[in-house]
Chains A and B, each alone.
Chain A
């Protein structure tokens, strides 16, 4: 009974991603979309926190939102998987519920 969480806010501007990770259960998936994709970058002030908090969930990022923002896939933190909208649909279908953190 796992949840797909989505986050659309930059974690540098808004604590929503941190709050989401603080509530996600082991085995859940967290998908960063829109401005939320900045949370998937490596080498940031939040990278350590992300690695700790995101330890027992599957982290995803919407590749199209990354590309829009000029973030190269090489800048993705380890353990974050890029998906397209097809992948987003699959994630939603394959999890029992979706919780959208706004």
Chain B
């Protein structure tokens, strides 16, 4: 759709369900996938809570949108940077998060993890490399 390729970073720092930001930012990512840009997502601070497994919203009546994260690979969004210090501060590990994978077409469609665990310093480096940073 566009000749110019920019590095887009979607920054997620808020927990799901208490506010709509997590869900509506995911909608931007999915629509944005059609533009063939170099897309990454950052999960830090309370944003890491968006990726927990076992979300069951039946009791609160809100739409459970957590499965959408698992579809990101189909949209070629394969770089989900999750900050380790943010997990640690919240008593979480990678095991508490969903298994999100993509198929690497350059490697015989091998399934690989989309979640990239990074340190705070590495997250800062990722942020500093971007052309467009969208925060929600």
Contact = CB atoms under 8 A, between A and B. Distances in A.
A15 B11 contact: no
A15 to B, nearest CB: 7
A3 B13 contact: no
Size bracket of the B interface: 10 to 19
Interface in B107-136: 120, 123-125, 127-128, 130-133, 135-136
B130 A25 contact: no
A16 B45 CA distance: 9
A19 B124 contact: no
A8 to B, nearest CB: 11
Q: For this complex, into which size category does the number of interface residues on chain A fall?
A: 10 to 19
B44 interface: yes
A23 B124 contact: yes
Given A19-B44, A102-B136, A25 B131 contact: no
Interface stretch (A40-48, A63-71, A81-89, A92-100): A92-100
B61 to A, nearest CB: 26
B128 A15 contact: no
A101 interface: yes
Given A15-B45, A19-B13, A102-B136, A24 B131 contact: no
Interface of B: 11, 13, 44-45, 120, 123-125, 127-128, 130-133, 135-136
